[in-house]
Amino acid sequence: MINFNINLTNVSKPFFGLEFPIELTESYSPVLKDYWADRIYSPKKWFLSVQDNALKSGADFVSVYFNSCEPDNSVKHSILEKYKNLFSYVLAESKLPIMLKLSSHAPWDCEILKAIAPIIDRELIIAPILAANYNELLNTVLKNNFNHKFVLRTPIDINLTKELNILSIDSGIIAQQILIDPDMGCIGYGIDYGYSIIERICLARKSGDKMLDMPIIAFVGEEAYKAKESKSTDFTASWGELSNRAIMWEISSASALIAAGANVIVCWHPIALETLKRQFCEVTCH
């Protein structure tokens, strides 16, 4: 059994996860489609391939992203059963710690987690916990007696971040279980706001604010591949080939946020993760 047992108190060392969305959307980058090939049509095969790449690139964990909107009631039960079956497979085949990443649709996330909770047999990272559903999500998984890590997401506001941390601790978790997600964008799409809020959190941490003294996580891959520059060929030649540009968009976004003070980076492309690991950890991890 693999537990998420990484000491996140060493903030000089970034940690990296490799993530894949289980639902293939129309906006999914062609660069990622080419890399993963036919495996993207089978979430179980896709997970195994992501895990193999995560092991090769030195990732610290794998993130399974349930990126769906709430379906009609007529198909909801079958979809939840499908998700439960997939996550059971993930737990059985995992060789790295696992992040269970929910959809960020508050009511639907509560239903997903309730369906999956009975099969959880180890410590996980559970993300994202929102102000709209933190009480129900925490109550769902605190019953199974594992020391999960919880990613608390608030929209680029240090006061809301601190408030959700306090409310979650009042609900029964401890500060050491919390990762802060300031919900930032990527290069060219609001990263300056994310950069500044990370800096402010780090300054508050250094000044002794215990309610902001938690690791900061950035879902860089998800954000980077929302950008037009990482999925469109509708650019002049001076922008370079899409296959290189997309990966560089992810690397550049992650590099900026690590420089600001982010401690945990979640990537989508294995080459981006491997490059970041080499770029930052070969300098800071020895």
Per-residue model confidence as pLDDT tens digits over 31-46: 999 999 999 999 999 9
- Please give the pLDDT value at position 201: 96
Which of 2-6, 115-119, 188-192 is least confident?
2-6
List alpha helices for the chain, DSSP H.
30-36, 43-57, 73-93, 106-116, 134-142, 158-170, 191-206, 220-224, 242-260, 270-276, 282-284
- Please give the pLDDT value at position 115: 97
Are 141 and 117 in contact by the 8 Å Cβ rule? The answer is yes
Please give the radius of gyration of the chain, using alpha carbons only, rounded to the nearest integer: 18
- Please give the pLDDT value at position 28: 93
Q: What separation in angstroms does the CA of 171 have from each of 134, 135, 153, 168? A: 9, 7, 16, 5
Assess whether pLDDT exceeds 70 at residue 1.
Answer: no
Distance between CA atoms of residues 105 and 130, nearest Å: 9
Are 20 and 98 in contact by the 8 Å Cβ rule? The answer is no
* Residue 167 structure tokens: 């409310």
How much is the mean pLDDT over the chain? 91
Assess whether pLDDT exceeds 50 at residue 214.
Answer: yes
- Taking residues 83-105, what's their average pLDDT? 97
User: What percentage of the chain has pLDDT greater than the value 70?
Assistant: 94
pTM: 0.93
- Taking residues 95-100, what's their average pLDDT? 97
Which of 75-79, 164-168, 228-232, 276-280 is least confident?
228-232
Assess whether pLDDT exceeds 70 at residue 2.
Answer: no
Q: Is 6 or 19 the better-scoring residue by pLDDT?
A: 19
- The SS3 call for residue 195 is helix
- Please give the pLDDT value at position 231: 80
- Taking residues 242-267, what's their average pLDDT? 94
pLDDT category at 12 given cuts 50, 70, 90 is: low
Residue written as tokens 């609900």?
171
The CATH number given to 15-284 is 3.20.20.20
Domain spans, the chain: 15-284
Q: What separation in angstroms does the CA of 8 have from each of 83, 145, 191, 246? A: 29, 21, 23, 29
Per-residue model confidence as pLDDT tens digits over 133-159: 999 999 999 987 899 999 999 998 999
